[in-house]
Each structure stands twice: as C-alpha cells, then as structure tokens.
Amino acid sequence: MIDTNYRRRRRKVRYAAEYFLLRGLIGLLHLLPLDFGSWLMGTLWRLIAPRLRRHERAIRHLATAYPAKGAAEIEAMARAMWMQLGRTFAESLMVERIIRAKRIENKSGPLLEAMKASGKGVVFVSLHTGNWELVVLPTVDSGIKVAGVYQRLKNPRVDDYVSLVRRDRYPRGLFVKGADIGRKLMRIVREGGAIALLADLRDRGGLSVPFFDRPAPSTTFPALLARSNDASLVAARVIRKQGVRFLIEAEEIEIPHTGDRDADVAEATCSIHRLFEKWVREYPEQWMWAHRRWG
C-alpha cells in the first residue's frame, strides 16, 4: 500500500510538472514572433531528435521508400522532417495566432460547399503532413459541423487542456478513442453529419494495402463508414509552403458500389492510400516517417 501511494504521489507530481511546463512553453511562444517561435522549436527538434531511437526508424523507412537516394540525402530528409515536426508542435499551441495572421490559403472551398449542399454525410480523412492540426479549419469556415477523434493523453491535466483548445474546431464533438466510438461516429454519419479522421497510421487489425511498394496495415473504418451510409469520402491535406504559411487542399475519393461491400471498402481504402502516397512523394520531408507505419 505504501509503494502504491508513493507511486501515485510521484505520478501526480510529474503530471503537475508536465502541465506547468506546457503552460510555460505556451506563454513563451506567445511572447515570441510567430515565425520565430515556430523556427526555434523546429530547430531544437532538428538538433535533438537525430540522437533518439526514432531517428533510426525514420532513416530505415526513408531508405526503403527511396532506394535510389544516398545515405547523406536520406539523412538530410530525416532532419528536415524533424524540423517540420518541431514546427508543427509549436504551431499546434498557436493555432489562433495563425488564424488571426491569415497564414492559411484554402483551396478546398468549392468542394466543401458542394459537400454541404448535398445534404449527405461526409467522412474526411487526412494524414500527418504539413501541419495536420489545421486541416479541419476550412470546415469550420464553411459551416460544416465536424466531429473528431483523438487518443487520450496519459497526463489528465495536459489532456484536458489540449482537448479544450481543440474543441472549437470540432463543433459536432471531439471524442476519445474507445470501444464505443464506432457506434457514435456511425450515428453521426448516418444522420448526415461529418467526421474527420487521421487515417495514415498503422492499424494492426486493418487491411494490408500497398504503400510505397510495401504492405501497410491500414484502417478500413473511414471507407466502411462512407460506404455503409452512402456518405461522401473526402481526403484533405495541409502543405507547408514557407515558414508559417500553409495551403489546404481536398479531393473526393470515389467509393465503388457493387454487390460486394467488403470489396468496395477495400478498394476505397486502397484509393485513400494511393492518394496519400502521391501526396507524401510531393513533399516527403513534411510527412511523419518516424512512426511504425509498416509494422
């Protein structure tokens, strides 16, 4: 019992320290010019991350995806990726400043207006590229009320804060991943609502689809939601153009409607990842190569 209470107290102290460190970082970033704060965090990540284990994984993935490139070029791509991820981390704490500074060019407007006019449910999918925290902003501007899903953080105080600052971007609700999340999202789409999901991470129980000429376990959930509810399936991405300036694009993905629903879902899932691969190849340093995408 003593050990249990001691561990609980230590965890509570650690959580408090992490929370106050986060709030201190946010305060510092808001004192700095927007571009400098983003650059500074990106530079720190670029210097520190190559010393960590995940850098080795990023190098392996890049080398396999781009076999014609030499070691020096692969290393440069990986370091550029860390710079982008560091920038994204800082900018995720300054989203309102980015909006006020009008740093986002939106090219998805006409497609979103068409989706809104259709009255059908919409399943939006995106990937960890550019600054993915910004990808839902055009839906807010267009009046489409989107629901989102996120992975709860271990630190409850940090989790509460992060959820709070994201809340306005998901007016239909921001839900924690869990056993009942599928039913909630199915109901929203069935009622003509919209949901937004990041769909480029590994799903151990998912469908193995080609991604950079390697089988990658991938979630079929977005395609299943859209196919089962006669909803639209839209892929969107954020491109970092220069510094803290972004371009958002979206593209509708065709969903087959044959007599075989499972085959239709599989084909739509493959279409999502063909498009994702095309997008990553255009800006490889902006994608998150360090996660376990292939197993």
> Quick one: pLDDT band at residue 1, thresholds 50, 70, 90?
low
> Quick one: pLDDT band at residue 230, thresholds 50, 70, 90?
very high
- For residues 82 and 175, membership in a common domain is answered with no
Residue that the structure tokens 């520190």 belong to = 48
Distance separating alpha carbons of residues 53 and 213, to the nearest angstrom: 24
Rg of the chain (C-alpha set): 20
Average pLDDT of the chain?
A: 94
**Residue 30 reports pLDDT greater than 80:** yes
DSSP lists the bridge partners of residue 232 as 122
Question: Which domain does 67 fall in, by range?
Answer: 2-97
> Quick one: pLDDT band at residue 7, thresholds 50, 70, 90?
confident
**Quick one: three-class SS letters along 244-280?**
CCEEEEEEECCCCCCCCHHHHHHHHHHHHHHHHHHHH
Q: What is the pLDDT averaged over residues 239-247?
A: 96
Which backbone phi and psi does 283 adopt, to 5 degrees? Answer: -135, 70
Residue % of the chain over a pLDDT of 90:
88
**What is the reported pLDDT for 144?**
94
- For residues 30 and 161, membership in a common domain is answered with no
- For residues 64 and 171, membership in a common domain is answered with no
- How many separate domains does the chain show? 2
- For residues 164 and 236, membership in a common domain is answered with yes
**Residue 87 reports pLDDT greater than 80:** yes
**In sequence order, which residues have a C-beta less than 8 Å from that of residue 160 and are 6 or more positions away?**
none
For residue 197, being part of any structural domain is answered with yes
Residue that the structure tokens 């965090």 belong to = 41
Encode pLDDT of 211-222 as tens digits: 999 999 999 999
Encode pLDDT of 118-131 as tens digits: 999 999 999 999 99
- For residues 118 and 188, membership in a common domain is answered with yes
**Residue 2 reports pLDDT greater than 70:** no
- For residues 9 and 155, membership in a common domain is answered with no
Whether the Cβ atoms of residue 288 and residue 128 lie closer than 8 Å to each other = yes
Residue 134: C-alpha distances to residues 24, 122, 154, 284 (Å): 23, 18, 23, 19
For residue 292, being part of any structural domain is answered with no
Domain boundary among the residues 80, 97, 114 is at 97
Say what the pTM is.
Answer: 0.93
More confident residue, 80 or 150: 80
For residue 85, being part of any structural domain is answered with yes
Q: What is the pLDDT averaged over residues 201-209?
A: 94
DSSP lists the bridge partners of residue 198 as 126
Domain boundary among the residues 97, 116, 131 is at 97
